[in-house]
């Protein structure tokens, strides 16, 4: 589908979802965003749903301003995936051992490594950028610097919620590795620090929603936020890179006879800010629950823990600010999902997947998410599908 333009907003709201199917609270959030005087444009992805401050599945392009709550607390959250030389025939009938080995290599939930991961010990890991990222730690917000040791030990860890590690098969039977995570606790604390600062600034006092408080260019507060924001985005990128390297090492050991090899890793943020130019204007583009989908650029759009995911290539649609959805998107809250579904429902909806099937992940049940197939259909003018993959192992925190 092409987009639908919502009338009555100060700045046009372009929606790749049917407005009639979007919850009222989310529509109100979008209208609130459209009142910001710095807003240049607002694109809404088909996985749109209610978020804190800004709507998940929104692309907010602003001139000379950025809203930290629109980025969210998991700065740089995103996906990584890679195709392997393995096929379904190489996998054992019982995937429980492989799942255990992955969980032993990569801490999940609130877990962290006993000692920081040494990048020199990771097969083929590009350590130069990793070291530059850590060199920037001394410049981040002073109130967060005491988290240095924790940030070191959380590098290469998964987290909880909708973060996951999966082993998937594509439609031809090839094995893919995929994972989803972000900047862990250090990103969360940096985000919360700057959101509090933004809410206190005089120019934000008259906003319809204080969670939409912004920083304005050429101010000390904006300078401090941009520094911490881009550092956290790099931390998130390397967090996924370290996890993927650890994951690949597990497969090298477990399938040593097959001499497994890997294609180039695909990686993309979906909660982040980028400096981009549209309509001849330099803008700060915030993608909250959206990926960049520039012409020819690869991305990853996951479903849920029991449905397909998609490797995509961007079509470079400027109307969406070169963006696409970040996943299926929730159709109900975590609380509602726990009330609506049972552990028995979870087991049924994840049949054939080696994964947790207990109350601790009930809020991640596939039934709590929108149809990934419909989401993909609604953004045919944003991306083309390169591969459809389906998990046989799904690890949650």
Q: Is 32 annotated as a binding residue?
A: no
User: Catalytic site residues?
Assistant: 326
Beta-bridge partner residues of 251? none
Q: Does residue 139 fall inside a structural domain?
A: yes
* 362 within a domain of the structure (yes/no): no
The answer to the question of residue 100 being in a domain is: yes
Query: What is the residue range of 143's domain?
Result: 76-266+297-331+369-396
pTM: 0.96
Q: Tell whether residue 113 is among the known ligand binding residues.
A: no
116 located within any domain: yes
User: Which residue, chain included where needed, has tokens 């008259």?
Assistant: 206
How many domains, in total, are found in the chain?
A: 1
What are residue 290's phi and psi, to 5 degrees? Answer: -155, 150
Query: Is position 116 annotated in a ligand binding site?
Result: no
CATH number at residue 149: 3.90.1860.10
Is 193 among the annotated ligand-binding positions? no
CA distances from 297 to 57, 98, 171, 216, 395 (A): 19, 32, 22, 30, 27
Q: How far apart are CA 48 and CA 98, in angstroms?
A: 35
Residue-by-residue pLDDT tens, the chain, 397 positions:
589 999 888 888 999 999 999 999 999 999 999 999 999 999 999 999 999 879 999 999 999 999 999 999 999 999 999 999 999 999 999 999 999 999 999 999 999 999 999 999 999 888 889 999 999 999 999 999 999 999 999 999 999 999 999 999 999 999 999 999 999 999 999 999 999 999 999 999 999 999 999 999 999 999 999 999 999 999 999 999 999 999 999 999 999 988 999 999 999 999 999 999 999 999 999 999 999 999 999 999 999 999 999 999 999 999 999 999 999 999 999 999 999 999 999 999 999 999 999 999 999 999 999 999 999 999 999 999 999 999 999 999 8
To 10 degrees, the CA torsion angle through 116, 118, 122, 125? 100
Inside any domain, residue 180: yes
Residue 197 within any structural domain of the chain: yes
309 is in an annotated binding site: yes
Is 233 within a domain? yes
- Whether residue 14 lies inside any domain: the answer is no
| Residue 327 among known ligand-binding residues | yes
């Amino acid at each position: 589908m092409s987009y639908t333009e919502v009338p009555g907003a100060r700045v046009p709201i372009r929606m790749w979802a049917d407005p009639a199917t979007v919850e009222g609270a989310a529509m109100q959030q979008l209208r609130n965003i459209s009142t910001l005087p710095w807003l240049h444009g607002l694109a809404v992805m088909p996985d749109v749903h209610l978020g804190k401050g800004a709507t998940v599945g929104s692309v907010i392009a602003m001139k000379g301003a950025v809203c930290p709550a629109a980025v969210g607390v998991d700065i740089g959250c995103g996906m990584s995936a890679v195709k392997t030389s393995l096929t379904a025939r190489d996998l054992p009938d019982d995937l429980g051992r492989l799942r255990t080995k992955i969980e032993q290599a990569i801490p999940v939930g609130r877990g962290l490594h006993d000692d920081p991961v040494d990048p020199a010990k990771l097969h083929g890991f590009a350590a130069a950028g990793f070291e530059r990222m850590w060199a920037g730690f001394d410049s981040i917000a002073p109130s967060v610097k005491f988290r240095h040791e924790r940030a070191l030990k959380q590098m290469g860890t998964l987290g909880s919620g909708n973060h996951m590690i999966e082993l998937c098969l594509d439609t031809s039977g090839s094995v893919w590795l995929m994972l989803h995570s972000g900047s862990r606790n250090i990103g969360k604390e940096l985000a919360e620090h700057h959101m509090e600062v933004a809410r206190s600034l005089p120019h934000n006092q008259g906003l319809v929603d204080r969670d939409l408080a912004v920083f304005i260019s050429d101010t000390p507060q904006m300078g401090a936020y941009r520094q911490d924001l881009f550092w956290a985005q790099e931390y998130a990128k390397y967090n996924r890179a370290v996890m993927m390297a650890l994951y690949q090492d597990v497969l090298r050991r477990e399938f040593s006879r097959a001499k497994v090899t890997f294609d180039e890793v695909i990686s993309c943020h979906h909660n982040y800010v980028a400096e981009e130019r549209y309509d001849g204007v330099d803008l700060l583009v915030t993608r909250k629950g959206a990926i960049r989908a520039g012409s020819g650029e690869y991305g990853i759009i996951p479903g849920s823990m029991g449905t397909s995911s998609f490797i995509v290539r961007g079509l470079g649609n400027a109307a969406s600010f070169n963006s696409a959805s970040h996943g299926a998107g929730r159709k109900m809250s975590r609380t509602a999902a726990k009330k609506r579904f049972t552990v028995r429902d979870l087991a049924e909806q994840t049949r054939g997947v080696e994964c947790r099937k207990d109350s601790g992940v009930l809020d991640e049940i596939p039934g709590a998410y929108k149809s990934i197939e419909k989401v993909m259909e609604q953004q045919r003018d944003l991306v083309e599908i390169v591969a459809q993959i389906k998990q046989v192992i799904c690890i949650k925190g």
